[in-house]
Structures are given as structure tokens and as C-alpha cells.
Amino acid sequence: MTDTSSFDALPLFPLELVLFPGGFLSLRIFEVRYLDMVNQCEKNDTPFGVVTLARGSEVRTAAGDRAGGAKTGQATFHPVGTLARISQLSRPQPGLIMINCSGAQRFEVTQPELLKHGLWVGQARLLPEDQTVPIPEDLLPVASALARMLDTLKAQGVTPEQMPIHPPYALHDCAWVANRWCDLLPMALTQKHRLMTLDNPLLRMELVSDLLERHGIAT
């Protein structure tokens, strides 16, 4: 949780995924621009921003490097993202960092800038955190299905580190339950990002319920 409402130069990590608040993200860092970013974030205990790619690649190509990063500059990403806070970091070998992150508050980038060494930064303002909304009776099957899935995985011997969802659990809260299903359900990246940007957690939960019905879950 950050104690500021905006960032002048938030380091950004464009990825082909959507990070939701309360979500878990594991990354293997090997590019110099992100090695430097992660080292600074660890040193200063600050987050970086995960933004979803709309076009382009996560990794710089050799052709892009030879052209002064032109390929990287062609990447575009959605302006609404989620802060990522590093919860675990290891350096198994030189030039490689492994990190686990947790999704924190959502933000909106207002002025993105591509630095010379290929790192995106941007002025960013934090978006309001999801309100805690109790799950209405007609949507309780959505939470029950998630609880059953977690119980099944535990019974199968899945360790806490291997679980797709990490505690603390909030099975009574619309936003948390909806976000965790969004982490798990197969859907187009644009659809997943659209759900993340919704300000109304109850609406997000209702849309997730519709998706579960289509998949034959929580019917």
C-alpha cells in the first residue's frame, strides 16, 4: 500500500498479462533495464507499475537494440495498471533476478516516457481502492465455488507456494472474489483488462458470475 496519491516517474513494466489488486505475480528478470529497476525498487522499498501491452513485445529484440530501441518504442500499453510490490527476491546467478510480487493499488498513467536505456516511466495517479462490498445472496455460489477449488487443491497436496491464490483470503468480499476468478479464468487479454478497470466491484462480480456460468462453474 502506498502512502502517496501520485507518482512523478513511476517505473513501468509492460507485460502480456493483467495484474489485479491482491494478485500474485512471479517474474524472471534478465534485461538490464529491468534489473536496474528491480534493484532500485528493492533498495528504496518502492513499487513498480505493471501495465498491459496493447501492441509490441515484453522483451527487446536485437534489431530494436541496434536501432537505438526503436522496436521497444513501438510498444504501446493500456494506461490503467496495478502497482506491484516485491515480496520475495533472489539472485540465483549474475544477471538474473527472480521476484515474487503482490498486486496493490490501481493507477492511471498520464504522461508515459521512454528513457534512453529502454525503461518506460510515467506520471501516474492512484485510482480509488475497491470498496469492501459484501457478496449478495444471488452471487454466493461464485464465492463458494472458489472456496471449493481452494479446498480441493489443498486436499491434493498443493503447497501454499504452489497455490494460484495466496492469502489473506477474503471470500466475503466482491472485489477479492471477482479478482481471483479473473486471475484464473481463461479469457482474452482485452476482456480481462476491461474487468480490472471497472470501478464497481459488484458489477465486476456480476460479470464474472456470467463467465462462470458459461464455463459450467457456480451454476
Which of the listed CATH numbers 1.10.4060.10, 1.10.3720.10, 1.20.120.10, 3.40.50.1100 matches domain 137-214?
1.10.4060.10
pLDDT recorded at residue 55: 84
Question: What CATH superfamily classification does 6-126 receive?
Answer: LON domain-like (2.30.130.40)
Ranges of CATH 1.10.4060.10 domains, the chain: 137-214
CA pair distance 154, 97, nearest whole angstrom: 29
pLDDT recorded at residue 143: 96
pLDDT recorded at residue 58: 67
pLDDT tens for residues 153-167?
999 999 888 888 988
pLDDT recorded at residue 81: 98
| Regions of the chain with pLDDT less than 70 | 1-4, 58-74, 218-219
pLDDT recorded at residue 219: 53
pLDDT recorded at residue 60: 59
Helices in 29-84 by DSSP H: which ranges? 32-44, 62-66, 70-73
The pTM assigned to this predicted structure is 0.88
Q: Among residues of the chain, what percentage have pLDDT more than 70? A: 89
Give strand pairing partners of 13.
50
pLDDT recorded at residue 216: 84
Roughly what angle, to the nearest 10 degrees, separates helices 140-155 and 201-214?
A: 60
The answer to whether residues 120 and 113 touch, using CB atoms and an 8 Å cutoff, is yes
Ranges of CATH 2.30.130.40 domains, the chain: 6-126
Give strand pairing partners of 83.
49
